Structure 1
Amino acid sequence: MTMQMLSIIFGFFVPILIILVLLLVLILGYMPIQVPESHVAIVERFGRFRRILPPGLQFYSLIFGESIKRVMIRSTQQVREDDKIKVVYRTISSRFLDLREQIIDFPQQEVITKENVTIIIDALLFYRIVSPYNAVYNVANLPDSIEQIAKVALRDAIGSLTLDEAIQNVDKIKQIVSERVRKVEQEWGIKLVRVEIQKIEPPKRLLEAMELQMKAEREKRAKLIEAEAYRRAEIEKAEGDREAAIRRAEGEMVAKILEAEGQAQALQRLADAEAITVDAIMNKIGIIDAQSAMKYIVALRYVEALKKMADGQATKIYFPIDILSSLDAFTEALLKKFGKR
């Protein structure tokens, strides 16, 4: 009876125990992994690519030979050097591949220009990974490979330019480097964002010579500006004198015009007054014609003029014969008029 009970118990619990063990093995065989945002993880099975794990809580199976492939990435580290904090970029291995925009800060390097002048250049390269598979399996060390190909492109670009061309044509250097990197974009699964040139520094002795040249150029420019300012001042002064002369001439002309107009108005008024006088004489006397009246007025003007000439002190005044004849004619006309009446 006891053996029979044991056989029944054993036959009932052993399959359950086996199932529980298998479930436990399966559960323990799947390892959880937390993939950060904007990152992915590469899963391999027995050394071969299996799948890509997206961001979030993911699982991979150890029991089926799956593992997370470690990839090469660039890491930044702050170090103290000569009492200064310096950022150092290092290549390390990681379980996750960053899909965000990455930066490669090249160490300053010496390159030779077309005329064999050694200069120091410092550049930055920005890129992002668009194909994790290509970035991991088509190139052994993606960050270092990008850095090396960019360095070679920089040397080739600077070597084809003179120093002046390199300093003035930074965009051309960036274009050459960008074209070289874009040739491997698809193969390496990356997308070049941009290339930046931080510094192009000539040798110290060349910098001193350039500084002297710039100083001479500044002095020359200052003298030119001073000469131009003097020339403009002289021109403005001459223009001011000319404007003043024109205004004086215009003022004198206006004054003369006004004076002439005043004289003309005075003469006009005098003529009007004399016309009124002639009319009055003709109206009063009646028979005297206009010619006789005018002779009378002219004779009176002569008398006034002679008075002024004598200044009121002369005892004798001599009349011209034509004036006396005019007065005689006028007197005769008066006598005839009043004699008839």
Structure 2
Amino acid sequence: MGGCNAVCCACIDHASVGVVEKWGRFMRLATPGLHFFNPFKGECLAAVLSTRVCSLEVCVETKTKDNVFVQIVCSTQYRVIRESADDAFYELQNPKEQIRAYVFDVVRALVPRIPLDELFEQKGDVAKAVLEELEKVMGAYGYSIEQILVVDIVPDESVRRAMNDINAAHRLQLASVYKGEAEKILLVKKAEAEAEAKHLAGVGVAKQRQAITEGLRENVLNFSHTVSGTSAKEVMDLIMVTQYFDTIKDLGDSSSKTTVFIPHGPGHVKDISDQIRNGVMEAQSI
């Protein structure tokens, strides 16, 4: 009578590793490929562990050095070490909870020593501290910590509004300073332009008066030479009266509806003549 053997087989994927037991005791690790097990000898495939990188997000609520409560989201990338897959299978029942506990412990021990403003700048230091602690602990259990990322830092809603208000107030202050400087420059430029315009206007008035004086002088001299027996004063009075009536005529012919009241009479004509004469003499003395 011949013997009969019962044999089982299993295929393990490339990114996996198998744990083989014999009569309930760890026997060996099974590499990717096809494997045969003899159940009559107590051999069986106890588990198949994936060696792919897994990701675990942990949200930790803690407070900073300046007593601001924040939520820190840490993303942990870990994987099973192929050579230590037996430790990962037998030593830890729930590796995710173990990783979560150590992340909580390190973050809550480190963040309370950092102010909120510096926390955003030092999140790389927080991630490094968590990575170093997890590598020491999880390495003994057959897990490799590939990377720790602090993906988000979320302060309390009231704190965020206050920070936004402070930032907005600072920007408004800068805007007010720039606006004031711009208005100052405009006022200075306007004052410089007005000063230059007044200077040029003064120069123009002076030249105009000088030209009027020269013209009156030539008219007086020509009239005195042409009409014998007339003095310069009489000629000047005649010119003034003529110009006075020409001015009144121009005002009457103007299309503008503006009404101008001018005192009129022989005495006023004499006063005007004296005023013009005094102005001419002042212009000649310049």
TM-score by length of 1: 0.50
Is structure 2 residue 26 aligned with structure 1 residue 49?
A: yes
User: Corresponding residue for 1:202?
Assistant: 155
1:109-154 deviation digits (Å, cap 9, x = unpaired): 3212233322112110112222212222333322321222122112
User: Corresponding residue for 1:127?
Assistant: 78
User: Corresponding residue for 2:8?
Assistant: 31
Q: Is the Cα–Cα contact under 8 Å of residues 68 and 159 in structure 2 kept in the other structure?
A: no
Distance (Å, rounded) in 1 between the aligned partners of 2:185 and 2:52: 60
CA distance 1:123–1:216, change in 2 (3 Å): same
Q: How does 1:96-245 map to 2 (within 5 A)?
A: 96-106=48-58, 108-130=59-81, 131-224=84-177
TM-score by length of 2: 0.58
User: Corresponding residue for 2:42?
Assistant: 65
| Bigger Cα Rg | 1
Distance (Å, rounded) in 1 between the aligned partners of 2:48 and 2:180: 68
CA distance 1:230–1:66, change in 2 (3 Å): farther
Distance (Å, rounded) in 2 between the aligned partners of 1:230 and 1:129: 68
Distance (Å, rounded) in 1 between the aligned partners of 2:91 and 2:184: 70
Read off the aligned partner of 1:51 and give its amino acid letter.
R
Percent identity, aligned pairs only, is 25
Q: Is the Cα–Cα contact under 8 Å of residues 111 and 126 in structure 2 kept in the other structure?
A: yes
CA distance 1:134–1:225, change in 2 (3 Å): farther
Kindly state the Cα deviation for residue 226 of structure 1 after the two structures are TM-superposed. Answer: 5.1
Kindly state the Cα deviation for residue 39 of structure 1 after the two structures are TM-superposed. Answer: 0.3
Structure 2 unaligned blocks of 5 or more: 190-286
Structure 1 unaligned blocks of 5 or more: 1-14, 70-94, 238-341
Aligned residues: 188
What SS does the aligned partner of 1:144 have? helix
CA distance 1:52–1:164, change in 2 (3 Å): same
CA distance 1:151–1:60, change in 2 (3 Å): farther
Distance (Å, rounded) in 1 between the aligned partners of 2:79 and 2:184: 59
CA distance 1:170–1:64, change in 2 (3 Å): same
Structure with higher RCO (Cα < 8 A, 6+ apart): 2
Q: Is the Cα–Cα contact under 8 Å of residues 62 and 71 in structure 2 kept in the other structure?
A: yes
